[in-house]
Each structure stands twice: as C-alpha cells, then as structure tokens.
Amino acid sequence: MTYTPPKLLTFEQFIAEYGDNPRYELIDGELRDMEPTGPHEEVSGNIAGRIYAEILRSNCNWLIPKTCLIKPPAAEATALRPDVIVLDKIKLNQEPLWQKEPIICIGNTIKLVAEVVSSNWQDDYARKVEEYAFLEIPEYWIIDFRGLGGLQFIGNPKQPTFTVCQLVNGVYEQQQYRLGDAINSYLLPNLELKLDDIMP
C-alpha cells in the first residue's frame, strides 16, 4: 500500500476554488473541512449575537462580518476562517485586499476571534493559538461545547469548556470556564456571558 500525500494548494488556488465556501480553510497548503453542523452553527450564531449586542451597547466602532478570511503574513499557504471575527472599522482602510474580498492581512485590524471546536480540535487548541498570537490578536475564544479537546487542553473528565485567551507580552494567557461560570473578557469587560447561554 502506498501513501499518497494530499494535494497542496497555494493561497491563490484556495481563494479561486474555495474562497466563497465557508466550509473550508487552508493550513500550510492543506485543505481543511471545518465540518460545520447545525449545533456548531447555532453556537457560532449565539456567540456573534452576544458580542454584537455588547459592541452596540458599548458604542465600539467594530463590526462582525458574515464571512471573513485571515491571511497570516508569515504563512504563504494559509487562510484561516474563524467562526466569529470582530474587526476594527477604522483599521479596515489599511487592509490591502478588503475592498475586493473579505480577507484580513494585518493582525491589528482584528480585535477578537472565536472558534467553535469541531472534530479537528487540534487546529483550534494548538495551531491557531500560535497563529493568532503571532498576529497579535488581543483575544481568542475557544468554545468547546461538546468537550472534544484533548485532556491536556480541557482536563479530565472532559466537559464543555470555554477558554478565553488574552494576549500578554506576545503570548496567550488562558482562562477556562465551565457550565455555570461567569466568563470574563478583558476586551469586553461588561459582557455578561456564561457557556450555558450559548449552548445549542
């Protein structure tokens, strides 16, 4: 039996073939199926709605696009598609691709990203922690509503977990929350949120 490595794509090929398909993202040239299910999308929508309500209440000049890709400048064949992304409207003027396509290249345009964990949980807990920290995104939320992550990430016994990663000196400090816990966000200090509120 011979092993056939997956066909690698460039960023440009990915945009041409899959750019409009919210099901896929690209990591190091490999196509990743994000496997969105109904409950996954429900949790994503609940998170986006809670954040958007707080943005309006706090009168922040931010937006949550329906679809958006992140092209990390140091990764040639990577296009990340967060489940929820919060952008600084003012800084969109500096984005080289934004006027033609919903693609963000400059990390400081992004205020917050949220990933709802699927079966490819390794990307959310490892690779994206590094990528988002390198982009200097102030906050990264990992919503593991099914408790899929590895024991080293969510503990034993596995259970639904909401992880808030706050960027401090270029590294994410992580705080975990379980069902019933009030979640604290440095970026949105007045946000009232519990994992229970966004469960499907």
Domain count, the chain: 1
Structural domain includes residue 13: no
Whether residue 138 has a cis bond before it, omega within 30° of 0: no
Question: What DSSP string describes 71-137?
Answer: --TT-TT-BB--SEEEEETGGGGG-SSTTTSSEE--GGGEEEEEEE--S-HHIIIIIHHHHHHHTT-
Expressed as residue numbers, the domain containing 186 is: 42-67+83-198
Q: What pLDDT band is residue 4 in, cutting at 50, 70 and 90?
A: low
Find tokens 């949105």 and name the residue: 188
Structural domain includes residue 91: yes
What is the torsion angle, in degrees rounded to the nearest 10, for the CA atoms of residue 98, residue 167, residue 151 and residue 127? Answer: 40
Structural domain includes residue 178: yes
Structural domain includes residue 30: no
pLDDT score at 127: 87
Structural domain includes residue 117: yes
Question: Taking 80 as the threshold, does the pLDDT of residue 70 lie above it?
Answer: yes
Rg (the chain; Cα; Å): 17
Structural domain includes residue 33: no
pLDDT score at 36: 82
Structure-block tokens of residue 139: 């906050």
pTM: 0.92
Structure-block tokens of residue 95: 């984005």
Structural domain includes residue 77: no
Structural domain includes residue 108: yes
Pick the most confident of 21-35, 97-111, 113-127: 97-111
